[in-house]
Homo-oligomer: A and B are copies of this chain.
Amino acid sequence: AAAAWKGLQGLALKGWEFGRSDPRKVVFAAKMGLALTIVAMLIFFQVPFRDLSKHSVWAILTVVVIFEFSIGATLSKGFNRGLGTLLAGGLSLGAAEISTVTGNWEEVIIIIFIFVAGFLASYIKLFPKMAPYEYGFRVFLLTFCFILVSGYKTREFVETAVSRFFLIALGAGVGLGVNICIYPIWAGEDLHNLVAKNFIGVAKSLEGCVNGYLQCVEYDRIPSKILTYQAYDDPMYSGYRSAVQSTSQEDSLLAFAGWEPPHGLYKKWRYPWSSYVRVSGALRHCAFMIMALHGCVLSEIQAPPESRQIFRNELKRVGIEGSKVLRELGDLFKKMRRLRKPNFLFEVHEAAEVLQKKIDQKSYLLVNSESWDAVELPDGMKWMLNRPNTEGENKSELAHDYRPPPLSASYGAHNSITSDMGSVHKMDSLLKRQMQWPSRQSFLTEAVPGPQESRTYESASALSLATFASLLIEFVARLQNLVDAYEELCEKANFKEPVDEPASE
């Protein structure tokens, strides 16, 4: 008993915490209780007309069914219910009229009608375009069958249909009234907040990926939830995942938001909710690049820490400027303001430009020039080397001359680590990593790779830095698309000019 009591306390505490995290949920539950109470009282006191209790179930059913969390969902369900009921009422009265004139065949006719209605309604609702009206089809079918079946015995076709309709109207009136008039919860607002949250999430992922990459974060073992794209609490992962994952949630919120009348901040008639979803889609298009950046962090082939150090400042600046852009855009979006300056992306483009130039200058660090002649060339390339020497030089000598100064030496001088240590460490970690890379194990017969293989991986690992930088620059390029989508939204939704010009500008 004591354990049960403790369990109950724990549950109550959880419920309390849940309500504190989003008080709207408590309000919603209280509204539901209130609406049911009102309907029950109306039935008890026989307002507005007598003998309600006989069909009272319809009023209660309607309240329970159309009372949804957001106004948009409630209106959409209410519309479905109303349309379904009216259509079914009309058609079933017609069907009843036909069946009564056929005399002896009445039952047969009614049963045929029920089968046909059941078939058609179930078939049509499966069309993808009919998905939003799924509930309406159910209501139609239910009402149609009910009126025919119950009217058959009682001969009160019209009375059944009419009293039913009044009670549904009563339930719908109370439900809609309570839900809309008392502390309304708008799907549009939820959509707005969801997209704003995605901006922050993507910005956090970007910061996480760039910082993680520069700090050479490595997963000892990549969590299997990441490998199978399940929800997982990782600063680099969760942000972009939830942005990518929110499509279905956005779609349903969008469908409900369309039902909501102009309200609060969203005063325009036919508010452009679909542009909100377009902005979110453009953000997602950027998030895919961050996904790929995270892929570089997850990869078994990793650039040596020394070369990351050389590009450290440039990479970091692009990361900082990129996430600043995302955060600022998210903030403006949340506050429904236009962009402050014409060249919103100036800083991040400049940072990307600097990174690009740095890569350009230092591109010899990204390749492994030692292998240009050392590796045996495949057949297809041999003839090119053996062809009459147009440059008038020996190819092998030429390649030898291209070799840039050893990376570890210049890095060592810069960071006062001896060059020997640097390269030993580098080679070591590469060999280790090579053994881990799962794809290797299957076709490497010798356990320790020969010198040629290890050089190949050195090259791969250096190129992985180039990949990271390219993806980051591509991310920056995609920001323009996001800004375009945002400006289109500003136009359509009539966002205001920003009020407080910040002092920093």
Contact = CB atoms under 8 A, between A and B. Distances in A.
A119 B455 contact: no
A110 to B, nearest CB: 7
A111 B34 CA distance: 10
A470 interface: yes
Contacts of A245: 247
A360 B364 contact: no
Contacts of A126: 18, 25, 28-29, 69
B438 A410 contact: no
B360 A44 contact: no
Interface string A106-118: 0100110011111
A26 B470 CA distance: 51
A367 interface: yes
A105 interface: no
Interface stretch (A52-60, A205-213, A496-504): A52-60
Q: How many copies of this protein are present in the complex?
A: 2
Q: Give the interface size bracket for A toward B.
A: 35 or more
Interface stretch (A264-272, A327-335, A373-381, A423-431): A373-381
Contacts of A104: none
Chain A interface, >50% SS class: helix
Interface string A271-315: 000000110011011001101100110011100000000000100
Contacts of A229: 247, 281, 284-285
B288 A292 contact: yes
A305 B289 CA distance: 24
10 contacts: A25-B126, A26-B123, A32-B122, A33-B119, A53-B154, A227-B282, A300-B477, A343-B442, A345-B442, A463-B470
Given A29-B119, A53-B153, 17 more contacts: A33-B115, A33-B118, A34-B115, A36-B141, A40-B145, A64-B141, A227-B281, A227-B282, A244-B244, A245-B247, A301-B474, A356-B456, A360-B371, A361-B381, A369-B402, A460-B473, A464-B470
Interface of A: 15, 18-19, 25-26, 28-30, 32-37, 39-41, 43-44, 53, 56-57, 60-61, 64-65, 67, 69, 107, 110-111, 114-124, 126-127, 138, 141-142, 145-146, 148-150, 152-154, 226-230, 244-245, 247-248, 277-278, 281-282, 284-285, 288-289, 291-292, 295-296, 299-301, 313, 343, 345-346, 349-350, 352-354, 356-364, 366-369, 371-372, 375, 377-378, 380-381, 384, 387, 390-391, 398-399, 401-405, 409-410, 413-414, 437-440, 442-443, 455-456, 459-460, 463-464, 466-467, 469-471, 473-474, 476-477, 479-481, 484-485
